[in-house]
Every structure is written in structure tokens, then in C-alpha cells.
A = this chain, B = another copy of it.
């Protein structure tokens, strides 16, 4: 059975909510797919009939294994296209989400596996999110914590973001913070809970708590 772009968006949204909330409530889904709760009820019934979703009235929805496969494939497609747009077409990392959202509905396994090979099987997308492999296995990012949990003296590498809105990403650009950069946390400022990060070259950056909460880092053992 073939899914419409709209149906695919629902599956992705349920997948996302399962990850964060365990179950997808009608209301949360409505917010994610930008529709009314009534429309969601409607669609959930169809997806259930088609075998992609487990659903009982008033109880929220979860994916069947078939549905989860579809969703993971969509995530894979989305993230691979994002890599393509940034690496090959030189888009800024804050500008690729909407386009990838369109591209992810195109073609099937053949196309996406060829794209994957062309990009040299990247493990992460431009925002640091892991790219599921062709078998639908999602590699889990190890040891990542939010930057606001770091202590003075910690050395860490920036490996991802929690908020990938254009606004936030452009803010990181302004602070010159990018994935892969290594910092030492020099000082936590009690007053506003901001922190001073120092790059290897000695450049200092003041990072607000609000920013730090949305930046993912990996502590360096030493």
C-alpha cells in the first residue's frame, strides 16, 4: 500500500511523539501536523485500517512495526536530503528543513540508497541528528548531554542541537558555535546562569543558559 505525503507526515509525527512522550495524543499530533484534532481522528482511522497504526478511541496512537519502518525510512530520507543540501548545494544549516520536508516524499528505497552512497553514508545530518541506515537501524548518539549540564573545567565537543529552528541556528552562527568544535567551560556565571566557553585558540564565548540547554555536547574523557 502506498502512502500519500500527508499520511507520511502523520507517521513521522507519531514516531516523534512516541520517542518523546511514549504515545501520540490527538492534540499533540494536531499541533505537529498543523491540523485540527478532528482531522487527526479522521486520519488515524485510515492509518489504522491500512495497518500502520495501533489506535483506540480516546487512547492515543502508536505505530505498528510496519508503520515504524515507514517512519524511520522517512527520517532517513529527510536527513540524507539535508546532508545533500548542505554539503553539495551549500545551503546554510538553518535553511534546509523545509526543502527536505518536500524531498523526503519522493521516490523509494532505490533513490535514497543511491543518495546515501553518493554522500558516502553519512552518520549524522547537518544538525547532528543520527541518520538511520538502510535497514532502519537508528544509531543512538552516545553520551550526549545538554551543554547546560557541563561543569567548570569540562572539555567537550558540540555534537548536536535540540532546537533546530532557523532562529536558534542562526543565533549559534552569530556566536560562532558549530558542530564539531571543541570548548573548555571556563566559568559559570551565577547571576544569569550563563557560561563562558573558551575555544582551543583562546577565543571566549558567553553562552546563555537558554542557548546551552539547546546545545548537545559530548564530554571529552581527559
Contact of A89 among B90, B99, B103, B111 (CB under 8 A): B111
Residue positions of A touching B, CB distance < 8 A: 88-91, 99, 102-103, 106-107, 111, 114-115, 118
In the complex, the answer to whether A118 meets B89 with C-beta atoms within 8 Å is yes
Contacts A89-B118, A90-B114, A103-B103 aside, 12 further interface pairs with beta carbons under 8 A come to A88-B118, A89-B111, A89-B114, A89-B115, A91-B114, A99-B106, A99-B107, A99-B111, A102-B106, A102-B107, A103-B106, A106-B106
Interface of A, secondary structure class, is helix
Number of copies: 2
A205 to B90, CA, bound (A): 45
Contacts of A99 in B (CB 8 A): 106-107, 111
Closest B residue to A99 by beta carbon equals B107
A185 CB to closest chain B CB (Å) equals 38
A75 CB to closest chain B CB (Å) equals 18
A89 to B120, CA, bound (A): 12
A134 CB to closest chain B CB (Å) equals 15
A2 CB to closest chain B CB (Å) equals 13
Closest B residue to A101 by beta carbon equals B106
A125 to B88, CA, bound (A): 20
Closest B residue to A107 by beta carbon equals B99
Closest B residue to A102 by beta carbon equals B106
A-B pairs with the 6 shortest C-beta distances?
A89-B114, A102-B106, A99-B107, A88-B118, A89-B118, A103-B106
